Amino acid sequence: MEPGLPDLEVSPNQIKQVFVNIINNACQAIASDAPSGRIWITAKRLHESVAVSVTDSGPGMPEEIASRVFEPFFTTKPEGAGTGLGLSISQGIVKEHGGRITLETPPGGGATFTVELPLRPESARAEAPPLPATDAPMLSILVVDDEPHILHYMRATLESWGHTVEVASDGTYALERALAGTFDVIICDLRMPHLSGREMYTKLARQDPRVAERIIFATGDTVRGDTLQFLERLGRPYLRKPFTLAELRAALGHARKQPA
């Protein structure tokens, strides 16, 4: 580690998750080469950022795989061994901090992930008030979707932001939980078997309108006229799949402003 590195203003829990994901990947890369496998971690200043690199002595990866490692749900692991979400979530976290993650895979094997996080300008440090002890208020969130990989992705992302998350894979169960629980936000897919998101909203609006007002719909079906009309009639924020982490955070920010 380069001596005299400056402090960074980051979310500790989120950045911790980034490095846990990267180091876990490095450990898996050298697992077949035990006990001779090695991992090196270095940190140095690069102009207006700090760069932390994690290098492994594993077999490396071909370019066609390296170019896709940050895609959600992309994985080369056997079924059940991973969801392919760790690096995608990590990239989103680092981007939200104004930084970037890069991957180098030299022909001779091995791989190096480098996380670059920007420094705060001296003028900004001098003028800005001290950071609050906590981030924005954390939320209790119910996520409703019939696709397990979406539920896993949403739970992992939201929990990395510090929120409390419960998931439901069908509208009927979600309706029961929404009425029985005390959720600040309900993120609900529109198209589901048995009880659709729209039907769930209608039932909630009849039984407890305040809970219905906490729904944020997520859908890949907004091109259909009736769906778009329904969403616009509600006048509430909604997410178009595939949505970005920034869009998800913005929707939650809108939800925080709503009366309880």
Residue type at 136 in one-letter notation: A
CB atoms within 10 A of CB 48: 10
pLDDT at position 73 is: 56
Print the SS3 string covering 45-64.
EECCEEEEEEEECCCCCCHH
pLDDT at position 136 is: 64
Instruction: Return phi, psi of residue 131, to 5°.
Output: -65, 145
**pTM exceeds cut of 0.75:** no
Supply 37's token pair: 């496998």
- pLDDT tens sequence for the chain (260 residues): 888 898 898 888 888 888 988 998 899 889 877 678 899 999 999 889 999 999 999 988 888 888 888 876 555 554 444 444 578 888 888 988 899 999 999 888 899 999 999 997 544 444 444 433 345 678 999 999 988 878 887 888 888 888 999 999 999 999 999 999 889 999 999 888 889 999 999 999 999 999 999 999 988 755 567 888 888 888 888 888 777 778 888 899 887 766 55
- Pairwise CA distance, residues 110 & 112, whole Å: 7
CB 131 within 8 A of CB 120: no
The position carrying tokens 């954390």 is: 138
- Pairwise CA distance, residues 164 & 14, whole Å: 15
Greatest alpha-carbon pair distance for the chain in Å reads 64
Domains of the chain, with CATH numbers?
12-127 (3.30.565.10), 140-256 (3.40.50.2300)
CB atoms within 10 A of CB 248: 19
- Could you give the residue ranges of the DSSP H alpha helices within 77-128? 86-96, 122-127
Give one DSSP letter per residue of 160-216, joined into a string: HTT-EEEEESSHHHHHHHHHHS--SEEEEES--SSS-HHHHHHHHHHH-HHHHTTEE
Supply 66's token pair: 């390296």
Distances (CA, A) of 47 to 11, 200, 230: 22, 52, 50
